[in-house]
């Protein structure tokens, strides 16, 4: 019994090791403050530990722990009634935001696409920081963390359509920045129409 | 499906977010259309490169360890609670054989033994701090100043409570709860400072010594500090009271805050 409990704790500590950065990143994105993000991250994992017996092993831990983060964040904001004006719930409401037209994927005249991404891939992380934070977060959760659209919608408390739009627009913006960069260094040519 | 339809769904296709029927229709078109396949490759490369090069912002160093220690502390609380329950159950069973009085005596003896050393005492403080950290509104009574708490305490504790008034404006008092610790009646005050919670335990100064703790000098009162499970306890005696402030070890400037409060 004791060994079993210790084993669960070790398993959970491994999950903490692997997910602290993600939870902290999302918390910082919502609070805009490192100190508050740290505290939210701590509270999230303490709550996750208390509810760990409810976690179903065949489901996505990332999505589960991020939902706990979201609920903890909402609870804290509700408790701080004086900050109600500041807490717009912009990121956490089910309200539909206007879905702007997303440009379709462009065909780029690369000399060699594979080499370009190998050479300039590290620029992607820098350029991604230039797009609005809501879009960064949606792209990060989808492309880096591998969450599905419905899982992201659940975490961000947004309609699936809005999540889809943010991911697509985020990638389109990133692609455009990447192409500008490639053009500036003369790696790709302007495509003739 | 024609080319414009396929192009409009390429990002969903790359993300595997289409229904199986749409996926096979897309695949059928892509198999015979090099132009759309080119666009698909572009989107795939972009997605794969994001996955390869982008990472979550790293959490502050040591945060993972602090969380792990907090959870170990929580586990100890649960274990110790279970042990106490078991102890009480066994004691009660014995009461039927040995008589009520002897059992009560033994229980009170074991309770006194449970928290006798300074390290156990600081651990109890940290345990209580962590326990309420996960509660959004832990205060029984809302209060924004020490004077307010002193007034509330008149009907709650059987002694005249006196509290320190912290000079720093960053320390915001949110409320108080009256509870027991080490079998003593205490006032537990909750403060927020830069978005982080601090707990101040105030109790009558009765026989808890600072041995095993690091004594702090340059204060007009007896003060000691000790680290425990990622937290720091700063305890000091003043006006017949023992105050203990518990906070995250990362807020290492808080000793100065206590020091400044008493620089008359």
CA B183 – CA B206 distance, rounded (Å): 11
Residue B132 lies in a domain: yes
B45/A125 CB distance under 8 A: no
Query: Quick one: CA dihedral A161, B48, A174, B21, positive or negative?
Result: negative
Chain segment B12-32, per-residue pLDDT in tens: 999 999 999 999 999 999 999
Within 8 A by CB and 6+ apart from A114, the residues are B45
Please tell me whether residues B120 and B47 are part of one structural domain. no
The complex scores an ipTM of 0.81
Please tell me whether residues B34 and B155 are part of one structural domain. no
- Give the tokens for residue B178: 């009256």
B64/A125 CB distance under 8 A: no
Which of B20, B37, B53 delimits the end of a domain? B53
Does the pLDDT value for residue A134 go beyond 80?
yes
Please tell me whether residues B31 and B143 are part of one structural domain. no
Q: For the domain bounded by A2-83, which CATH number is listed?
A: 1.10.1740.10
Give CATH 1.10.10.10 domain extents, chain A: 113-184
C-alpha distances (whole Å) from B248 to each of B131, B192, B198, B232 are 14, 12, 8, 6
Q: For the domain bounded by A113-184, which CATH number is listed?
A: 1.10.10.10
Does the pLDDT value for residue B256 go beyond 80?
no
Of all residues in chain B, the percent with pLDDT exceeding 70 is 80
- The domain total for chain B is 2
- Output the DSSP codes for B24-37: HHHHHHHHH-HHHH
Chain segment A73-93, per-residue pLDDT in tens: 888 877 765 544 444 444 444
Residues in chain B: 264
Within 8 A by CB and 6+ apart from B19, the residues are none
Please tell me whether residues B119 and B49 are part of one structural domain. no
Mutate to test the interface with B, among A73, A105, A162 (most CBs of B within 10 A): A105
Chain segment A59-68, per-residue pLDDT in tens: 889 999 999 9
Please tell me whether residues B27 and B130 are part of one structural domain. no
Domain span at B229: 115-261
Mutate to test the interface with A, among B30, B67, B199 (most CBs of A within 10 A): B67
pLDDT at A108: 61
C-alpha distances (whole Å) from B63 to each of A30, B57, B70, B128, B226 are 18, 13, 11, 20, 20
Please tell me whether residues B165 and B46 are part of one structural domain. no
CA B94 – CA A5 distance, rounded (Å): 30
């Amino acid at each position: 019994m004791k060994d079993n409990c210790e084993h669960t704790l070790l398993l959970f500590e491994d999950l903490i090791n692997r997910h602290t950065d993600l939870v902290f990143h999302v918390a910082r994105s919502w609070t805009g403050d490192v100190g508050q993000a740290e505290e939210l991250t701590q509270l999230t994992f303490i709550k996750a530990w208390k509810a760990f017996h409810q976690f179903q092993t065949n489901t996505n831990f990332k999505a589960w722990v991020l939902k706990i983060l979201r609920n903890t964040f909402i609870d804290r904001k509700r408790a701080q009634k004086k900050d109600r004006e500041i807490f717009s719930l912009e990121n956490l409401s089910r309200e539909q935001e206007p879905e702007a037209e997303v440009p379709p994927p462009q065909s780029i005249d690369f000399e060699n696409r594979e080499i370009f991404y190998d050479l300039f891939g590290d620029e992607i992380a820098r350029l991604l920081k230039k797009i609005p934070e809501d879009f960064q977060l949606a792209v990060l959760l989808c492309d880096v963390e591998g969450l599905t659209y419905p899982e992201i919608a659940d975490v961000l408390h947004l309609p699936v359509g809005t999540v889809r739009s943010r991911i697509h627009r985020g990638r389109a913006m990133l692609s455009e920045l990447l192409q500008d960069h490639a053009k500036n260094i003369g790696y790709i040519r302007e495509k003739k129409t | 499906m024609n080319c414009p339809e396929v192009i409009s769904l390429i990002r969903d296709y790359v993300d595997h977010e289409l229904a199986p029927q749409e996926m096979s229709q897309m695949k059928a078109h892509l198999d015979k259309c090099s132009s759309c396949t080119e666009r698909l490759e572009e989107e795939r490369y972009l997605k794969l490169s994001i996955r390869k090069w982008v990472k979550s912002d790293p959490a502050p160093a040591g945060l993972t360890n602090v969380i792990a220690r907090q959870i170990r502390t929580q586990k100890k609380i649960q274990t110790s609670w279970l042990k106490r329950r078991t102890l009480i159950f066994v004691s009660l069973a014995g009461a039927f054989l040995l008589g009520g009085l002897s059992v009560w005596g033994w229980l009170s003896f074991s309770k006194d033994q449970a928290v006798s050393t300074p390290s156990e005492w600081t651990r109890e403080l940290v345990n209580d701090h962590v326990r309420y950290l996960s509660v959004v509104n832990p205060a029984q009574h809302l209060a924004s100043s020490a004077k307010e708490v002193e007034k509330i305490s008149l009907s709650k504790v059987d002694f005249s409570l006196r509290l320190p008034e912290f000079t720093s404006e960053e320390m915001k008092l949110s409320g108080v709860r009256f509870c027991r610790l080490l079998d003593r009646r205490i006032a537990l005050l909750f403060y927020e400072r830069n978005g982080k919670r601090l707990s101040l335990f105030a109790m009558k100064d009765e026989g808890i010594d600072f041995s095993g703790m690091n004594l702090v000098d340059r204060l007009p009162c007896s003060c000691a500090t000790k680290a425990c499970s990622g937290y720091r306890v700063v305890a000091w005696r003043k006006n017949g009271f023992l105050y203990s402030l518990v906070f995250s070890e990362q807020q290492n400037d808080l000793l100065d805050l206590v020091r400044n409060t008493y620089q008359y």
